Amino acid sequence: SQKIEQNSEALNIQEGKTATLTCNYTNYSPAYLQWYRQDPGRGPVFLLLIRENEKEKRKERLKVTFDTTLKQSLFHITASQPADSATYLCALSPGGNNDMRFGAGTRLTVKP
Amino acid sequence: GAVVSQHPSRVICKSGTSVKIECRSLDFQATTMFWYRQFPKQSLMLMATSNEGSKATYEQGVEKDKFLINHASLTLSTLTVTSAHPEDSSFYICSARGSNTGELFFGEGSRLTVL
């Protein structure tokens, strides 16, 4: 069956450290993968998209990697801040039609 | 960035009544919108793909007669939960693709509570 797994339900780190979140998928061959941030009671907000032919993409303090052999994406937040505390979701579209399917998310807490 | 607006943000209704949720793209045209449902501490589950001017495409296990979707214009899609029951209580979120980059813009969500 098809699965999108984010291996940590919750992650607690100290301010200033790098947070690394993992997304693994099974029985998908996505052309691209996306990461979103969701705050409690709000809709998700798009962060980054990485295509299958891209190994790495950066945006400010964010970095995403995409390994289609391992079927895994890693999401890094460097120099983390308490304001980064949120749930981070990875998502992909099975058919490339933007019908995004989401992982369960990792709830990140950055402690001051 | 593109803005997607949902209304109402919260609704409480009695069991057996119907509830309509609106999703609007405010500054762009969306031929396709997506409706998701999210239960507490769970991820977003795609319910259906709403296509402007045609029938919605429902995901497996989602009752199309219970969750009526209408996409009558390029900026408005509606989800009507018919004969709502307590188990339909959830957070309903719509989204639309705003550009060629593939990113989705989400509404703020509508929290439905069925008593």
Residue A95 forms contact with B (CB below 8 Å): no
Residue A58 has pLDDT above 70, yes or no: yes
Give A93's contacts in chain B (Cβ within 8 Å). 102
Phi, psi for B64 (deg, rounded to 5): -70, -25
Contacts of B46 by beta carbon, 8 Å cutoff, 6+ apart:
A99, A100, A101, B34, B35, B36, B59
| Beta carbons of B102 and A105 less than 8 Å apart | no
| Beta carbons of B44 and A93 less than 8 Å apart | no
Q: What is the strand order of the sheet B76-81 is part of? A: B4-7, B19-25, B76-81, B67-73
Q: Looking at chain A, which residue has its C-alpha nearest residue B48? A: A99
B70 — pLDDT class (breaks 50, 70, 90): very high
Residue B37 forms contact with A (CB below 8 Å): no
Query: pLDDT of B30-61, one tens digit each?
Result: 888 999 999 988 889 999 999 888 889 999 99
Alpha carbon A33 to its chain's center: 9
Rounded to the nearest angstrom, the minimum Cα separation between B105 and chain A is: 7
Percent helix, strand and coil across chain B, each to the nearest 5: 5, 55, 45
> Which residue in B69, B89, B72 sits closest to B80, CA to CA?
B69
pLDDT of residue B107: 94
> Which residue in B25, B105, B97 sits closest to A47, CA to CA?
B105
Distance, in Å, from the CA atom of B24 to the CA atom of A57, rounded to the nearest integer, reads 31
| Beta carbons of A32 and B34 less than 8 Å apart | no
Residue found under tokens 């609704």: B11
